[in-house]
Amino acid sequence: MSDLLEIKLDNFEGPLDLLIHLIYKNEMNIYDISISVIADQFISAINAMEEMDIEVASDFIQMASYLVYLKSKLLLPQNEVIQDDIDIEEEKFLFTQRLIEYSFFKDVAAILSEMESRFNKYMSREESILLEKDEIETYDAYKIARLFFELLNKEEKKVIKIEKKNIDIKEVIEKIKSIVFEKNEIFWNHIIENCTNKMEVVVSFLAILELIKLKLILAIQESNFSNFLVKRNG
């Protein structure tokens, strides 16, 4: 059995996760997937799971059936008339967009998880007052009173005010669309250069996903966690 099929169901969160694994394993361009190859390997992976007595979830089986359907449609002669309301090229495009969105969200989730793990290692320490032991044992009322009033008169801890700024995602969508349509293509890091805070970066990312969903732009990424290119669709 090849290394490609030596997998366990627990390693994947769902059928899309397995598909992304197969695409990167075969070094395919996510924008130009060979449905025939991916369908065969996906089904082989499910068969391998069954041979290892692993219960295959229904969503994996459903995805396998869908891939077989796409493969059969794509293998039919182009000039053959088919009484079917579904445009197979459009169906393949929608399937590719679904994988791209899942890949983006998976990358963002990994970044957020890594940030959470890193920041959980730090703990803030409250300000405290330390009194020397010999001063406590003297029972000197004047010293105790002096320490008490010093504590009262101590400069108050500075309070950091965080201003809540509402960001209209519709305005951000129009802004990014105008930039991409004007330049035809632009890298993600150039888009966020003008963002003033993290919230604006997140909203800009969601705006790009929405424009991809509307088929107005395309996003091209060579590898996970790398900078990606945003370009006008058509």
Instruction: Please write the tens of the pLDDT for every residue from 29-38.
Output: 877 788 888 8
Give the pLDDT mean for 132-148: 61
Residue 4 pLDDT: 41
Q: What is the pLDDT of residues 105-133, one digit of tens each?
A: 888 888 888 888 777 776 655 556 565 55
pLDDT given for residue 131 in this prediction: 57
Tens-place pLDDT, residues 53-82: 566 678 888 888 888 888 888 877 655 545
Taking only the tens place, the pLDDT of each residue in 203-226 is: 888 888 888 888 888 888 777 767
Distance separating alpha carbons of residues 178 and 62, to the nearest angstrom? 39
pTM of the model: 0.42
DSSP string, 78-112: TT-----S--HHHHHHHHHHHHHHHHHHHHHHHHH
